[in-house]
Structure 1
């Protein structure tokens, strides 16, 4: 690996650490606000209920809750994971991610080439879980709609390519650009064969919105600290600061046994 590549990966990992800390601060702030809201609720319950109802609508745009429709080939408990790679691979990389999350993009920048190489070699299988953490932190619906669009891409057998496009064109965290279905469909044009009438209908209808919400609920139930949460055979990759080279060594070692 060249010195330039090492420097780029180091910078991406440093950014990943910074973004995860920012998430933790934001979550602590939200918890504090929730406590304050609860106190206020004792004094004015009816008003608080109205605020909560209004906020719920703001977070997810005009889309109403629908049925839970898993994308094609989804696996795991309640079919909440999008599988990538061969089922027979010795190692499993479990990824909980949000397409609006800057730390997730930093993880992609540092680890994507290694993950793609290991998946391509048949030594690693990845399981992607899509969540809406940033929608909750900053308001909006871009996390939800981008996740639904990625699930629509999975229906077309083009999840990985579209997944990478979404991160390559990720807007600023405060810019809810992915709430615009037209933008998500425009980006599908960068994946050969994805921009079809079926894909467009899936995106516009929010076919997998209920599935995304259920995935996020599972993320909350697991009490993970933030996105990305990345586990290699159950071991925390991000928290342990496992480098891409170390991840590769661990996967290759497992494949020899």
Structure 2
């Protein structure tokens, strides 16, 4: 026969049960607070990511052009042209004067492309980028691109094309200090420019802002490596420089 519990015992057991229940409720409340905090934190992270993403998108689409970013006379948008505007085929070449693969492409494709340019079938549009500025202490890519813009502005597209070719023929090694401003002026003169016409613009980097804008626009257009070639707006896909040259020559000849 079971013994009856005393009033004191029952009271103690009841108190203990209430204590356990309170502890369980407290733990549940702590878990719920942690869950709510985690949810709120996740929402904040998502919202912050959206805000930053929108800000980046807006910034990436903002035209950085200013009065100092005025393009050189003779530019076609953000490109230096070679050949008539009436040419039925437009070949856009995105290159960096310090990029060794660009130098290889230029050397291998120049003769074939120049024949098409002279025949009036092709207009080359050089988008000169400065992706490799960080590989040199002198910002050679930007300086060379600015020098080409100066020559185009002061001496016209034919002299600019010769200067462009000379820059690749005298291309410095990637990561080197590049050519000096004095050497850039000398090559410009060799191409047919007057020293007095290009000296100040090269020394002062007159088209520095425009050069930055060329870079910005190329990035907006999805160009993230050099050389990149577009024929009538379509990117030529390749794995080797020889393949790029072959595809460009075939496409141009067919056009």
Counterparts of 1:155-170 in structure 2 under 5 Å? 155=153, 156-157=155-156, 158-170=159-171
Query: What is the CA–CA distance in structure 2 between the aligned matches of 1:246 and 1:222, rounded to whole Å?
Result: 21
Counterparts of 1:162-241 in structure 2 under 5 Å? 162-178=163-179, 180-191=180-191, 193-237=192-236, 239=238
Alpha-carbon distance, 1:245 to partner: 5.0
Task: Say if 1:216 and 1:198 are closer, same or farther in 2 by CA, change over 3 A.
Answer: same
Say how many residue pairs are matched.
Answer: 185
Aligned to 2:92: 94
Q: Which blocks of at least 5 consecutive residues in structure 1 are unaligned?
A: 1-64
Query: What is the CA–CA distance in structure 2 between the aligned matches of 1:200 and 1:86, rounded to whole Å?
Result: 28
Aligned to 2:17: none
Aligned to 2:140: 142
Alpha-carbon distance, 1:233 to partner: 1.9
Q: Which has the larger radius of gyration?
A: 2
Task: Say if 1:249 and 1:177 are closer, same or farther in 2 by CA, change over 3 A.
Answer: closer
Task: Say if 1:139 and 1:220 are closer, same or farther in 2 by CA, change over 3 A.
Answer: farther
Q: What's the secondary structure of 1:67's corresponding residue?
A: helix
Report if aligned partners of 1:119, 1:125 keep a CA contact under 8 Å in 2: yes
Per-residue CA deviation, residues 61-110 of structure 1 (Å, 9 max, x unaligned), is xxxx98102111112xxx31112111111111011111111111011111
Alpha-carbon distance, 1:213 to partner: 0.5
Task: Say if 1:227 and 1:247 are closer, same or farther in 2 by CA, change over 3 A.
Answer: closer
Aligned to 1:52: none
Q: What's the secondary structure of 2:90's corresponding residue?
A: strand
Query: What is the CA–CA distance in structure 1 between the aligned matches of 2:203 and 2:136, rounded to whole Å?
Result: 23
Per-residue CA deviation, residues 119-149 of structure 1 (Å, 9 max, x unaligned), is 1111111111111100034554100110011
Task: Say if 1:222 and 1:243 are closer, same or farther in 2 by CA, change over 3 A.
Answer: closer
